[in-house]
Structure 1
Amino acid sequence: MARRRTLEAPDPKALAEIEAGFAAKPTGGPGGFAAPIAQVAAEAAADRDARPAADRAAAARTAADAASWRDARAEGRVIVTLPIEAIALDHLTRDRIETDAEAMEELMASIRASGQRLPVEVVELGEGRYGLVSGWRRLRALALIAAEDGTRATAKAVIRPRGEAGDAYAAMVEENEIRAQLTPYERGRIAAVAAHSGAFESMEAAVDAIFAAASKAKRSKIRSFALVHFELSDLLTHGRALSEAAGLRLAGALKAGFAAKLRDALEHGDPADAAEEWALLEAALAPLEAAPKPSPRGGRPKRKAPETLAETVLPDGTRARLREEGTRIVLALEGPGEHGARRALAERLMAVIAEEARG
């Protein structure tokens, strides 16, 4: 068994050496001891200064890269993968009313062959939810492919900064104008819907903002179709099939105050297709367009052509014609005879009239 060591009290000389050692330590905390935190910080700073310059440069680059990545994500320049069920497709009212089945099949075939090459655009709604801004067809195609394959549907997406609703509508329309030409009715419809949702003060403001790149004449036509959608959309089944000329005719009748008659024609008809629906509207337009319209310019109204009340030819060839011109009754003497003879005849007639007046 090991022997236990007997502890002995230090002699006076050893105590003096211990006290001298404590006295030599720096003070700064309670009881004369250095603060542990300050000491650790000082040692860390010393270690940092002792690191090679290359290590410090690498750390700085890492910090700068992290800041750049955060900025890129905040500005919508980072592509992420999101589950499709987390994306609200109805965040905005879509500008396209129908989807062509053949075009959708072609898009699905392209995605199967090459993958999703272009990301959709979304905005954060909170709690892991996102609202779709553009890319509805791509998202729909990805969902159909996943359903056919029995896999989880995901989509590559760019998270855009959450801005004004008007900017989102403009972005959606801009993409569809490039990728799939919108019909005149679809352009007017999205402007009317955006204004009705409160994204713009009026349909005119919506057209000017969403279609800012369009010419003045084109924006005027879009406003006409926006009016057609606003007044007739609840009864109009085949608005997308309206030609530009047909839509402008409807807008003209609506501006003239004939909305009730057009609505009545749609409400009491039962069209089977776009052709029958337009036939109903055209039948209602016919009497409206046939009615006389006020002159578009100011100034004096056009004079009505004079109406002949009576006419006779005298032996010398003079033609006597009694005409009504507005509120006046005019007797005209015309013909190959001598001017003096016609004047004498006119004076005799005036004498007869004067005698009749004295009656």
Structure 2
Amino acid sequence: MARRRKLTAPSSADLNRIEEEFRRETSGASPMAPIAQVAAEAAQSVPVTDPDVRAENARNASIAKEMQKSEAAGLLIREIPLEEINPEDMVRDRAQLAEADMMELRTSIAASGLRLPIELYELDKPDGNVRYGILSGYRRFKAVQALLALTTASKYSTIKALIRQPGSVPDAFAAMVEENEIRAGLSPFERGRISSIAVQMGVFASTEESVNKMFSAASKAKRSKIRSFALIFEELGDLLAFPEALSEKQGLRVAAALRGGAETALREALGGSLIDSASAEWAVLEPEVAKFEDNARDDRKGGRPTKKARIKGQGAEVKTSTGYVIKREEDSRGYVIRIGGRAVDNEMMDVLVLELQRLLERP
């Protein structure tokens, strides 16, 4: 049987020696764990703030965040110096600014201020202080610029603006056209002009793409007419003095003549005439357009028909030497003319309708 060890209490000398050794080993050490000590020191360094002050700081931080989001979304109206804006960075769809309209706009801004901000976009390559181009509000900018030149008043040295960033240059063109279409409808020629210029600048690959993108809300027939006026701008734009005065009917007739090869005759007529009014310009164009239409109606230039026309009864049909098929039908509401055989586009149908109108209006 194991003998039990007898425990004896340490003497006072032993206790003093143990205590002294403990003090030497723990001298300078913190009684807290390191992480607890760091937390304590951080807590001591933060001043105690009033709850109302903390709430106000939180509100200010929230407002600042919302302001940053609004600015990024183009919802924040800013005062931009005119000298930082290049109004001609983007070719405008409106060819001319009517002085009477501009005078009215300047008077309104002088009396009541600019009520509607313009829209700007940041230039990819700023030039000195010039940082922005105009997306919409070109007329408003020019009016404020004129007021600054006239009055030198400092209030006209800046303009209210929204800074937007279209996803691409094509989107910028579309936005500009949409703004003018809504506020002040463009003339048919102006629509065609900007569509053609956008292609020439390389923004779009073709006139069709340009028209479809910038006038996406327009009907198919309207886009077809815009393409016709784009052709007029491309072929005659450098010679026409009053192109915005061309009506849709006149423009479609001119476009049809151009497609038929009348470009040289029309350019010679315009280049050899002194034109001082829209009516005088049409008086020069119309005889040449009429010659083309007369030639188009001349059956002798169409060759022999491939098949003799049937001219009586339901379903009378005519085939042209160019492959078109014209068929007459009748129902309870009257006669119907169908055209097929080859692809028929809106431009051709517009010309045919105008030709029918001319024939029916003759005495």
- TM-score by length of structure 2 reads 0.68
Residue 246 (str. 1) matches residue 246 (str. 2): no
Residue 97 (str. 1) matches residue 101 (str. 2): no
Q: Is the 8 A contact 1:134 1:171 kept in 2?
A: yes
Aligned to 2:110: 112
Q: Secondary structure at the match of 2:291?
A: helix
Pairwise CA distance, 1:118: 0.5
Aligned to 1:283: 287
Match 1:274 to one of 278, 282, 285? 278
Pairwise CA distance, 1:273: 2.3
Amino acid at match of 1:111: I
Question: Relative contact order (alpha carbons < 8 A, sep ≥ 6): 1 or 2 greater?
Answer: 2
Match 1:64 to one of 62, 65, 73? 62
Looking at structure 2, the residues matched to 97 and 58 of structure 1 have their Cα atoms a distance apart, in angstroms, of 53
Looking at structure 2, the residues matched to 294 and 69 of structure 1 have their Cα atoms a distance apart, in angstroms, of 70
Change (3 A) 1:84 1:22: farther
Q: Is the 8 A contact 2:260 2:292 kept in 1?
A: no
Aligned to 1:31: none
Pairwise CA distance, 1:291: 0.8
- TM-score by length of structure 1 reads 0.69
- After the TM superposition, which residues 140-179 of structure 1 pair with which residues of structure 2 at under 5 Å, given as runs? 140-152=142-154, 153-179=157-183
Pairwise CA distance, 1:130: 0.7
Q: Secondary structure at the match of 1:194?
A: helix
Q: Give aligned-pair identity as a percent.
A: 43
Pairwise CA distance, 1:80: 0.5
Q: Is the 8 A contact 1:122 1:132 kept in 2?
A: yes
Change (3 A) 1:302 1:221: farther
5+ residue gaps, structure 1, are: 1-15, 28-33, 306-359
Q: Is the 8 A contact 1:124 1:162 kept in 2?
A: no
Residue deviations 1:222-249 (CA, integer Å, cap 9, x gap)? 1111111111111222111111111000
Pairwise CA distance, 1:134: 0.9
- After the TM superposition, which residues 1-359 of structure 1 pair with which residues of structure 2 at under 5 Å, given as runs? 23-26=27-30, 43-45=41-43, 51=49, 55-125=53-123, 126=126, 128=129, 129-152=131-154, 153-293=157-297, 300-301=306-307
Pairwise CA distance, 1:163: 2.6
Kindly tell me the number of residue pairs found equivalent between the two proteins.
278
Change (3 A) 1:42 1:252: farther
Amino acid at match of 1:233: G
Residue deviations 1:16-72 (CA, integer Å, cap 9, x gap)? 9xx979933549xxxxxx9xxx96x86445555965665555444333322221121
Looking at structure 2, the residues matched to 304 and 237 of structure 1 have their Cα atoms a distance apart, in angstroms, of 48
Looking at structure 2, the residues matched to 175 and 193 of structure 1 have their Cα atoms a distance apart, in angstroms, of 18
Aligned to 2:17: none
Q: Secondary structure at the match of 2:296?
A: coil
5+ residue gaps, structure 2, are: 1-19, 312-363
Looking at structure 2, the residues matched to 64 and 197 of structure 1 have their Cα atoms a distance apart, in angstroms, of 44
Change (3 A) 1:42 1:210: farther
Runs of 4+ in 1 over 3 A off after TM superposition: 19-22, 41-61, 292-296, 299-305
Q: Secondary structure at the match of 2:70?
A: helix
Residue deviations 1:258-309 (CA, integer Å, cap 9, x gap)? 222222222222322222222221122122110135999xx9455599xxxx
Looking at structure 1, the residues matched to 61 and 77 of structure 2 have their Cα atoms a distance apart, in angstroms, of 21
Looking at structure 2, the residues matched to 132 and 246 of structure 1 have their Cα atoms a distance apart, in angstroms, of 33
